[in-house]
Amino acid sequence: MRNPQNDTPATVEKPVRPERSRGTRAQDQKRPSTSLGTSGEGGLDSSDPKSPVRTCVLTREPGTRDSLIRLALGPDGQVAPDVRARAPGRGAWVGVNRAALDAANAKGKLKAGLSRAFKTGDLTIPTDLGEKIEAALRQAALDRLGLEARGGTLISGADKVETACRAGRVKLLIHAEDAGLDGRKRLDAAWRVGGGEQRGLVFPATRPILSMALGRENVVHIALTDSAAATRVLHAITRWRAFIDLPAGLDGRDAVAGLGSADEHDEGNT
């Protein structure tokens, strides 16, 4: 009779793990996604299974908290933007740009949607709600830049930024909207040399506003040298740009009017 204990055990072959292709050092560095409104570290990811899903009161389309904007209902019945999603009480969510929101507000569609969400018709929506949301998103982006500057993950000044770009240390490059075209091209080229993207991101604000946010003088160009910091900043800017409906991606050439209007002689000193 066959004794199973005398059988020789079969040899189990270990699966061969495919060897990872090695890229350049610059390619292997972790960078945030640069697309607007799409999946990725820096984009507005609506497909992350770990993110709570909310529904836009206007389009009825689902999205994550990061891809939508929260509106809060105050005790006095006033509707106000809550872009940081921290206000107490019941909230409702919108996922459209400012033009669509302003149109829905003017036609009464926004009030109808919010009345259903808040389960009350006793509410007041300011006529300038879109402007208030835009201002809040803008301030959130500026605040994030200020926090990163105080945390030491952000550098400014054309010479310092260019050196960091060429050394491959820059994870995100930002230009003020009134930055000179020559200065932008020079730093964009330096970023490409260091393994960065084709172009830096045009921030929809002028140098005085950026300077005030960072507590520094004459801020025209900014570089984030930490991947996590770059992701945080890009996320805040993405939400703002998406709401005001600026062109997607890092190429901000169509985002502002009068590009290159800044004095060219400032470029070498900023």
Torsion, CA 146, CA 147, CA 148, CA 149, rounded to 10:
50
Query: What pTM did the predictor assign?
Result: 0.74
Cα 241 off chain centre by: 8
Amino acid 90: pLDDT = 87
Fold matches, 53-128 and 138-269: no
The pLDDT assigned to 266 comes to: 34
Burial 119-151 (b: 16+ CB within 10 A, else e): eeeebebeeebbeebbebbbebbbebbbbbbee
Cα(71)–Cα(55) distance, integer angstroms: 12
pLDDT at residue 245, as a whole number: 84
Phi, psi angle pair for 214, to nearest 5°: -95, -10
- CATH code, residues 53-128: 3.30.1230.10
Residue for token pair 């890009």: 234
The pLDDT, as a whole number, for residue 48 is 53
Helix, strand or coil for residue 183? helix
Whole-number Å distance between alpha carbons of 25 and 151: 26
CATH topology classification for 138-269: 60s Ribosomal Protein L30; Chain: A; (3.30.1330)
Per-residue pLDDT of the chain (270 residues; tens, 9 = 90+): 445 455 544 444 444 444 444 444 444 444 443 333 433 333 344 445 567 899 999 999 999 988 899 999 999 999 999 999 999 988 999 999 999 999 999 999 999 999 999 999 999 999 999 999 999 999 999 999 999 999 999 999 999 999 999 999 999 999 999 999 999 999 999 999 999 999 999 999 999 999 999 999 999 999 999 999 999 999 999 999 999 986 544 344 333 322 232 233 333 333
Strand-pairing partners, residue 203, are 176
The reported pLDDT for the residue numbered 49 is: 57
Distance of CA 212 to the CA centre of its chain: 20
For the chain, which residues make up each domain, given as ranges? 53-128, 138-269
